[in-house]
Structure formats: structure tokens, C-alpha cells
Amino acid sequence: MISADALIALVRDYNPKTNVDRIAAAYDFGRAMHDGQFRRSGEPYFSHPVEVAAILTEQQLDDATIITALLHDTIEDTDASYGAVADKFGDEVAMLVDGVTKLTNLQLSSHETKQAENFRKLFMAMSRDLRVILVKLADRLHNMRTIRSMAAEKQVQKARETMDIYAPLAGRMGMQWMREELEDLSFRVLNPEGRQSIIRRFITLQKESGDVIERITGDMKHELAKAGITAEVLGRAKKPYSIWRKMEEKGQGFSRLSDIYGFRIITSNEEDCYRALGTIHQRWSAVPDRFKDYISQPKTNGYRSIHTTVSGRDGKRVEVQIRTRPMHDVAETGVAAHWSYRDGVRSNNPFAVDPVKWVAGLTEQFDAEEDHEDFLEAVKLEMYADQVFCFSPKGDVVKLPRGATPIDYAYAIHTRIGSACVGAKVDGLRVPLWTRLKNGQSVEIIIAEGQTPQVSWLDIATTGKARTAIRRALREVDRERFIKLGRELARSAFEHVGRKSTDKALSTAAKHLRLKSPDELLARLGSAELTGHDVVQAVYPDLTNKDGEKVSPRRAVIGLSPGQSFERAACCQPLPGERIIGITFRGKGVVVHAIDCDGLGAYEDMPERWVDLNWHSGTHPAVYGVTLELTICNDAGVLGRICTLIGEKKANINDMEFIDRKPDYFRLRVNVELRDVEQLHSLMLTLEADSDVAAVDRLREKAKHPVSAG
């Protein structure tokens, strides 16, 4: 774990005027609050906040942000209160820590409607102080770096959430290095075989062609020096996930993918950026349609750079980014550059955007969204989108996501223009409405009175704003018909669970689903945007299951006769989630076996005793015993740690038996009580991952039940 002195040294490298005493006090406070807490890896828990703070020093952030990182889990996971943090470190830090705590409590990978509401809260937190998100991103980055200590299913959940939300958010904030690392760490969990295949191809390519990066970097430096341009040239291979994504998008194999290397040219001034561009294009052939000038048309997060792709004599393509040093600093840290410090003062980077204006611009289009799904779609489109810049006939610049069409352009100007659109001209030529717009094109929208949005436009539009406006207009056209149909569907859905579709019930459902009126709810029900189950569950969540069926008292096993009892076979110890079969016994009821149990062979000639059974779907209590056979190192503390791992997986140890004791290892059998087969697999993966566990197997024995039915 990084010491307090080492962390302070990292801060002082870029901020000699840092308040050393405050950071040291925060370090001591956080360590004391987390005393006795440990991560799943066995490390002291406080090592995590310290590493998060260290990540933020790489972005040269202010003292308040560093202190927040050290304390970001204290309100959530310790006895520290908001008031205690405010008393010791001030209201600014307390507010930031509280903001991170609230973000941590958002389950962003949950059900879509809830996810949309959590996105609203996320953007609300961003609008108060963007540093909350910076700390949260650093927190997620360190968690992803140490994700191997988590349970397998938790790894997948966190990796998917990171890939869907945090990585694109980091990219949208201009922190491209963080986006790439988050994506690659998630890729390692979600598709380890795909990632390894990319790495193997890289190694093979390097053996075949030598160090391409060093060779091309040298050539670029030579050409720039000949032209009298002072510049730094940096080269790198793209991350495995970036290459995988290109392969997926283009439908090409690795061997056909050419632009897998990227180079950055950092000049002393803007004029030299364009001189360097000319020099590169004179030496290497420019690839058509692969040029972007973000210096003259910056991204909204402050990013400025010239992008071009060139091809050498061997046909190998490389991507080149050209920018000045201040532009590069913003490209590395994005919106975070606003809080960066240099020599003890706030860095006055001319390209760092005002975070308040940035968040306001980002959230403006979402504020009008009434529908959860539309809001979520708009957020994700905005976060993932690259941009194209088009011009109006008057010369005004209109920013749109890549892949946008004239429909998107029309709605970007005004909803009234979009709804009345009947055609478009691009660079003076009439084009279909599904045409994909490109950078620098001039677009003119043709409108007509009486025109209304068409259903087919939903397949053409790509922006959240356009799709929301089209849906809203389409709903209005058939609103009355949908309300009438929705009322009938609601009546039927409520009767299905023994309730009446009263005005009060509909009002309650509309309020719960955040719709403005019962009529709005009925209209959406009639247009199939909501289901009858959604409406009933909003009022009576305990009366329906996920399939909309009325809930009734249930037994663990389905297929038994009324009053018939069952017990699990000791030989195979079947668990919920496994396919099962029952064998009837007089006086014993039914003995349940796993479908692949060897013991079933004794009953092959007695089909009349076989009962087709299934486990009831849903969550079962952790009462089903399973015997595991483990081989572990005979070393101090190993057995205790194994028992702790089992407890952390919410499994109860029912019995333990040592089979073999050797000087260097133990073999033992542990009977654990589990919920279902999924919990069993998760537990076995966790045990197998421990370095002191040589083997772990599920024990299944010969059938012990008598064959006789008497």
C-alpha cells in the first residue's frame, strides 16, 4: 500500500503548494475508519482509496479531489458521518464524498426503467460537481484492475456495467486513456479468448515485421526535422479491445485490418500542426475519408487534434494525430483539465472547457424527455457518439453524431422543422432522407404544411432527440384509439390477479411509472409500449411474477401429487437448476435424483416408478447440502481462509471430514448448504482460484437407496 509520504510526494510533483497537513490528516482518518476491513484479495481495504487517490494524481487534480478519493468510502462503509467529514475537512470535501457515496449506491446495470432513472441521478450529480464523477471513474478503474479477486458472476456484471456505462462516459469526458483501459479490462473478463487471440497475433506480427512502431516513429521524426518542425512523436499499438471492435464493425479478420498502430505528433504551436500534416501527407499517401480536423471544429469536451490515416509503401495503414502540447494535455485528461494544477496554481489551459457549461450542454436535450426508455436511449447515443459537423444554408454549424441523417439534422434545428420535413438537399443535390451525412456537407431541409412524421422515420433517425419527437407525434395521432384499447387491456390484466382496474389504481400505476396521467398510461398500454403485467406490478408487486402469472404458494419441486413428500438422493445431491427425476418409494414418497445420476440405472426396468419433476423457478433458500472434496496446502491459515471464502459466498458449512493428512497437503470433505447449482459453480470457481487449493470436486457416490418399492 502506498504510504502517506509517497502519496503526498506524488501531489507535490505537480503542486508544490499543496496542503500537506490536510492530505496527511485525510490519510490518517481514512485508515483509522477502515481499520479491520479487508478486500476480497486479503489486502487492507484502505489500500483501495489510496490507489484511487494515486490514479487522480496522474491527472494533477486539486487537493479537494485527492482528499475525497481517500475518504470516498468512509460515509458508505464505516462509522464516519457526513457531519464528521465536514467538521474535519470542510463542506466542499463532505459534499464530494457524499456525492460519490450516492453514485456508488446507484445500480446502473439494473432494469432499464430503473437504469434510466439512475442515469438522471448520475447527470444530476455531474451538474453539481464533475469531480464526483472523476473520483467514481478512478474508483471503477482500480476495481477493474483488481477484479480477479471477485466472484466470477460479479466480475461479469461489473465488466458489462463498465463497458456499457463507465468506459463511454470516460470517453465522452475526453479521458480517452481511461476509456481504453476500462474497455480492455472489461474485455479481459467478458471475452478472454478473443483478447488472447489478438495478443497472439500481435506477437506473431512483431516477429514477422520487427518493431514497426520504432521504425515509423524514426521515419516521422526524420521527415519533420527535414521540414524544420520541432515536434515530439509518440507511437503505440492500439488496445486489444479497440482492434476487436474494428474487426467486428468492419467484418474483417486481423490479417486484413491495417490501422492497428497509432502515432501522435505534438508540436509547439498550432501553425506547426498544419505544417506537420503537410509533411506527413507528402511522405505518405493519405487514406480517403479518414481525415478529421478537430482543431478548427473542436469537440464539446474541449478535444482538439488533427486526425489522418496514411498508407506506406508496404500498404500498412497507420493513424496519426497531430496537436499542440496544451491540446495534448486536454486530450489526456479531458474535462478534468479544468482542475489540473501546475506549480501550485490552477492550470490555465485555454482548451480546457468550463465543466458547468459542458454538463449543461450535455444534459440539455435530456431534460425534456418524459419517457424512461427514450431518455436512456438518448444518453447512450450521446455518450457513444462521434460527431460530424454540417452547415446550414446560412453557414451555421450543426453538430450531429456520426451516422446521422437529414431527419436528425431537421430535428436538431427545430422539432417543427423535423415534423414537417418532406425532403433534403445535400450540397445542392436532392437526396433520400436515409442518407448518412458527412463532415463539412451543407444541408437544406424541404418542408411542407400538413406533413406529419412517418413510422418509417424511426428506422432512419439515429439521435435521441429525433426519435423521441417522432414517437411523441405518432402517439398523438392514434392516442384516442390506444387509450380505448389500453383501458380494455388494463381491465383484463387486473382481473387476472383478482383486482379491479379502478381510476385510483390506474392513477397509482401512472405515478409509479412516472407518467403524467392515467390516459398517458393507457395510451402506452394500447400501443404496446407497456404490458398489462407492467401496470399491475406497479400497483400490486406481490401479486405477479416476472411472467405475469398470479402468484400462489409454491413447493420447491413441481410434478408431485398433492400431499406427496420428497427427499433428495444422497448419492447425487441434486440442486435447484439441475434437471431432475423422481423415483417413488412406499412410505418414503419420492426420492429426487439428478438426471445424470448413475444410481438411476438400478430402476431402468421399473418405468412405473419414474416421476418427471422440475425445480420451481425463482429463489430457493440455502438448505440443500452438497459435499465437496478439496485438496489444500497444509500451511498455517489456509484452512481458515478456505472457510472464510465459503462464508463469503453465502454458503453454510454443515460438516467437515478429513480424509487424508500429509506433511504438505490435506484432503478433506466439506458439506455445504447451498441455494442452487449457480451458487455451487460460483463457489467452486472461487475455491479453484485460490493458490492454496490444489483440487476441488463435487462428490457423488453410489446410490444408497434400496431398489425395492416395498
Q: Residues 42-101: pLDDT tens digits?
A: 888 899 999 999 999 988 888 999 999 999 888 888 888 888 999 999 998 998 888 888
Give the CATH number of domain 4-190; options: 3.20.20.10, 1.10.3210.10, 3.10.400.10, 3.40.630.40: 1.10.3210.10
Q: Residues 136-185: pLDDT tens digits?
A: 999 999 999 999 888 888 899 889 888 877 888 888 777 888 888 999 99
Q: Tell me the mean pLDDT in the region 311-333.
A: 82
Q: Give the best-scoring range by mean pLDDT among 157-171, 259-273, 520-534.
A: 259-273
Answer yes or no: is pLDDT of 311 > 70. Answer: yes
Q: In this structure, what is the dihedral angle of CA atoms 265, 271, 275, 276, given to the nearest 10 degrees?
A: 0
Answer yes or no: is pLDDT of 596 > 60. Answer: yes
In 540-671, alpha helices (H) = 638-648
Which region among 19-33, 120-134, 248-262, 560-574 has the lowest average model confidence (pLDDT)? 248-262
Per-residue confidence band for 546, with pLDDT thresholds at 50, 70 and 90: very low
Answer yes or no: is pLDDT of 190 > 50. Answer: yes
Which region among 118-122, 355-359, 520-524 has the lowest average model confidence (pLDDT)? 118-122
Which region among 24-28, 436-440, 518-522, 568-572 has the lowest average model confidence (pLDDT)? 436-440
User: How distant, in Å, are the alpha carbons of 38, 393, 399, 410 from that of 427?
Assistant: 63, 9, 17, 15
Q: What is the pLDDT of residue 554?
A: 46
Cell 492454496 found at: 692
Q: Give the best-scoring range by mean pLDDT among 103-107, 346-350, 611-615.
A: 611-615
Grid cell of 311 as nine digits: 498508407
Task: Give yes or no for a contact between 89 and 22, defined as CB atoms under 8 angstroms apart.
Answer: yes
Per-residue confidence band for 548, with pLDDT thresholds at 50, 70 and 90: very low
All structural domains of the chain with their residue ranges = 4-190, 193-346, 358-476, 478-539, 557-615, 624-698
Q: What is the pLDDT of residue 541?
A: 72
What is the separation, in whole angstroms, between the first and last Cα of the chain? Answer: 67
What is the set of active-site residues? 76-77
CATH fold of the domain at 358-476: Ubiquitin-like (UB roll) (3.10.20)
Q: Tell me the mean pLDDT in the region 471-485.
A: 79
CA–CA–CA angle 218, 222, 227 (5° rounding) = 150
DSSP 8-state symbol, 174:
T
Mean predicted lDDT score pLDDT of the chain: 81
Q: Parallel, antiparallel, or unpaired for β 665-674 and 652-661?
A: antiparallel
Q: Residues 216-237: pLDDT tens digits?
A: 899 999 999 999 999 999 988 7
Q: Tell me the mean pLDDT in the region 318-334.
A: 87
Q: Residues 635-686: pLDDT tens digits?
A: 777 888 888 888 888 887 777 888 887 777 888 898 888 888 888 998 998 8
What φ, ψ does residue 631 adopt, rounded to 5°? Answer: -115, 115
Q: What is the pLDDT of residue 231?
A: 93
Judged by DSSP in three states, 427 sits in coil
Cell 427427499 found at: 567
Torsion sign over Cα 557, 562, 565, 566: negative
Which region among 107-111, 476-480, 588-592 has the lowest average model confidence (pLDDT)? 107-111
Q: What is the pLDDT of residue 275?
A: 93
Task: Give yes or no for a contact between 575 and 624, defined as CB atoms under 8 angstroms apart.
Answer: yes
User: Cα 367 from chain centroid?
Assistant: 23
CATH fold of the domain at 193-346: Beta Polymerase; domain 2 (3.30.460)
**Shortest CA distance to 97 belongs to which of 65, 50, 53?**
65
Answer yes or no: is pLDDT of 102 > 60. Answer: yes
CATH number of 624-698: 3.30.70.260
